[in-house]
Amino acid sequence: MTRLTLDTNYKTEMVDITEAVAEEVMKLGIRDGLCTVFTPHTTASVVLFEKTDPKLRRDFLASLSRIAPAEMNYESDGDNTPAHIKSTLCGPRIVVPVKDGQLYLGEWQAIFFCEFDGPRQGREYIIQVIQ
């Protein structure tokens, strides 16, 4: 199991972590198995998403903001209720097959860390590969 960190720069953003995850999979040396990527934060998520069109990522974040708008009057204390809702909808983890020591992703897929309550320093995600 490996714990990595990243810093985010915006209130909401999607950070491509595919390369970092792929490097850790290679270091672990497991040829075939499953790679889980998990974040322990309740206002962030890890998702598989389309990697080539940044406009699609902006559309995704905008759509989530329409589902859980910042301007809504929430009953809970604090101002990050929308971030909790967004992270619950997206989930804290993904699982990707590992084949021949490499992530087995679709042609258009990448692994993204989704920030919903940024900017933040030292956001964590955990990589575990099992055979």
94's tokens: 């993904």
pLDDT tens track for 32-83: 999 999 999 999 999 999 999 999 999 999 999 999 999 999 999 889 999 9
Alpha carbon of 102 to those of 21, 27, 67, 124: distances in Å?
10, 11, 35, 22
Q: Name the CATH code of domain 2-130 (choices 2.60.120.460, 3.40.920.10, 3.40.50.1100, 1.10.645.10).
A: 2.60.120.460
pLDDT tens track for 86-120: 999 999 999 999 999 999 999 999 999 999 999 99
Q: Where are the domains of the chain?
A: 2-130
